[in-house]
């Protein structure tokens, strides 16, 4: 797709083809048949192909972007890399609370964060080096009625003029030249050295990073926020200058509810003891943020193993930062013994959860050879003092 095709998709003919393509796909028409039907109504075969691709991408975007997906334009890479709406709204709220004159959204992609920032009432400059991506971002903010206070620029973010911007958000590309994800900040584009340069020019800077971003690389005075959505860790954001919360180095935020936990230097390392009556599984954002000790202190709990993020208690207490399970049995992990126990109890199938275990859950399910009828048992595979153990647990509301 090129800039001209983006413009043609927004004409009356393009919109008509998009509507037809969406209707055909919704009716279950396969791609070849849909293409033939669309070509019967238009001689612009390039536009037909683009409309059909957009209809497919809009359907894929719907779970993450809701009604906005139906009017936005996408590329496959742009959709994969775009921040889901609930996360973008959470981030935009921090900028809105600061109240900047103008916010620069650097490496803006197709506009997921632009939309959230504009809806938060902010004037925004969006910059992306790819002209097609910039054209899509421009189209998207205009289609959503947000173009009045948004400027889009196709430019190199390391060289573009940011005069007038007193806040910035940077979402560097985290893929190598072959398109594979990279978890090493040295492989980000623009180069990681640009982050320090940007924060020196515009102190109110937020930088998106992979969830596994090394804590050792977080500069002093910067708040690292780990964000999960519906239990899935989505990203880390490094908040600089006035966007950072004073005294907070690490934060875990759980969406969509918005529960947030911060580091507490006064919290001691949790005790390590055998399993109690209740097992608590901290959310992945809590684990990635290194806040398991804070959760254990809040629950008055302890760890099964100092290197494994499972918290135990003897009293039934809930936390927005954990899922809790009633512990029914704890035994050394031995396949034959586990199979015999499950069959003795009439278990038909298992749900396998694990931390610090090399066992493949699906392989274990096959090897247990359970009948498939009867109650389902939740198993937790982990390690205690270097020895593999299995806990039979019951999930709690």
pLDDT by residue (tens digit) across 116-141? Answer: 999 999 999 999 999 999 999 999 99
CA distance 288 to 213: 9
In 3-state terms, what secondary structure has residue 7? helix
Share of residues in the chain with pLDDT > 90 (%): 91
The residue assigned the tokens 């009604």 is: 67
- Maximal CA-CA distance, the chain: 72
Round the average pLDDT of the chain to a whole number and report it.
Answer: 95
Mean pLDDT (whole number) for 168-176? 86
Q: Which two tokens stand for residue 164?
A: 């007038």
In 3-state terms, what secondary structure has residue 191? coil
Is the pLDDT confidence value at 183 over 90? no
Query: Rounded to an integer, what is the distance from CA 201 to the centroid of its chain?
Result: 28
CA distance 300 to 371: 40
Q: 220: exposed, middle or buried (C-beta count within 10 Å: 0-12, 13-18, 19+)?
A: exposed
Q: Looking at residue 184, what is its pLDDT?
A: 74
Is the pLDDT confidence value at 16 over 90? yes
Q: Looking at residue 60, what is its pLDDT?
A: 96
Q: Looking at residue 176, what is its pLDDT?
A: 61
Is the pLDDT confidence value at 182 over 90? no
Q: How confident is the model at residue 188 (pLDDT cuts 50, 70, 90)?
A: confident
Q: Looking at residue 397, what is its pLDDT?
A: 85
Cβ-based neighbours of 217, under 8 Å, separated by 6 or more: 185
CA distance 358 to 355: 9
CA distance 331 to 274: 11
Q: How far apart are the first and last CA of the chain?
A: 48
CA distance 130 to 151: 15
In 3-state terms, what secondary structure has residue 178? coil
Mean pLDDT (whole number) for 202-229? 94
Number of other CB atoms surrounding residue 306 within 10 Å: 10
Q: Looking at residue 178, what is its pLDDT?
A: 59
The residue assigned the tokens 């709204």 is: 89
Q: How confident is the model at residue 89 (pLDDT cuts 50, 70, 90)?
A: very high
The residue assigned the tokens 């998009």 is: 18
pTM: 0.92
Mean pLDDT (whole number) for 365-375? 94
Is the pLDDT confidence value at 144 over 70? yes
Mean pLDDT (whole number) for 388-396? 97
In 3-state terms, what secondary structure has residue 68? helix
Q: 250: exposed, middle or buried (C-beta count within 10 Å: 0-12, 13-18, 19+)?
A: buried
Yes or no: say if 168 and 102 are a contact pair by the CB < 8 Å rule. Answer: no
Q: Looking at residue 177, what is its pLDDT?
A: 60
Share of residues in the chain with pLDDT > 70 (%): 98
80-262 CATH = 3.40.50.150
Mean pLDDT (whole number) for 367-387? 94
Boundaries of every domain in the chain: 3-71, 80-262, 278-395
């Amino acid at each position: 797709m090129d800039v001209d095709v983006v413009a043609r998709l927004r004409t009356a003919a393009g919109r008509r083809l998009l509507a037809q393509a969406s209707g055909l796909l919704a009716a279950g028409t396969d791609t070849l048949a849909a293409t033939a039907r669309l070509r019967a109504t238009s001689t612009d075969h390039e536009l037909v192909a683009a409309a059909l691709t957009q209809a497919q991408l809009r359907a894929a975007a719907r779970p993450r972007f809701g009604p906005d997906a139906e009017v936005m334009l996408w590329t496959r890479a742009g959709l994969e890399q775009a921040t889901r709406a609930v996360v973008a709204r959470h981030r935009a709220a921090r900028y809105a609370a600061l109240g900047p004159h103008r916010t620069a959204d650097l490496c803006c992609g197709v506009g997921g964060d632009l939309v959230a920032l504009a809806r938060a009432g902010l004037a925004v400059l969006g910059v992306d080096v790819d002209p097609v991506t910039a054209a899509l971002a421009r189209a998207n903010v205009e289609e959503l009625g947000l173009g009045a206070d948004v400027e889009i620029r196709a430019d190199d973010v390391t060289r573009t003029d940011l005069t007038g911007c007193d806040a910035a958000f940077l979402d560097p590309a985290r893929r190598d030249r072959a398109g594979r994800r990279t978890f090493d900040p040295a492989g980000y584009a623009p180069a990681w050295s640009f982050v320090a340069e940007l924060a020196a020019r515009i102190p109110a800077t937020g930088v998106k990073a992979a969830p596994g971003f090394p804590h050792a690389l977080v500069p002093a005075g910067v708040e690292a926020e780990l964000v999960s959505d519906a239990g899935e860790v989505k990203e880390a954001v490094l908040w600089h200058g006035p966007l950072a919360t004073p005294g907070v180095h690490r934060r875990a935020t759980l969406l969509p509810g918005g529960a947030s936990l911060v580091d507490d230097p006064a919290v001691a390392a949790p005790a390590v003891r055998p399993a109690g009556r209740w097992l608590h599984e901290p959310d992945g954002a809590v684990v990635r943020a290194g806040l398991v000790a804070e959760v254990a202190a809040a629950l008055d709990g302890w760890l099964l193993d100092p290197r494994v993020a499972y918290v135990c208690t003897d009293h039934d207490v809930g936390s927005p930062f954990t899922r809790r399970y009633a512990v029914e049995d704890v035994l050394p992990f031995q396949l034959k013994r586990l199979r015999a126990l499950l069959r003795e109890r009439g278990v038909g199938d298992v749900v396998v959860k694990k931390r610090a275990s090399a066992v493949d859950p699906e392989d274990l399910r096959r090897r247990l050879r359970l009948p498939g009828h009867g109650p389902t048992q939740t198993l937790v595979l982990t390690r205690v003092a270097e020895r593999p153990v299995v806990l039979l647990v019951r999930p709690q509301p």
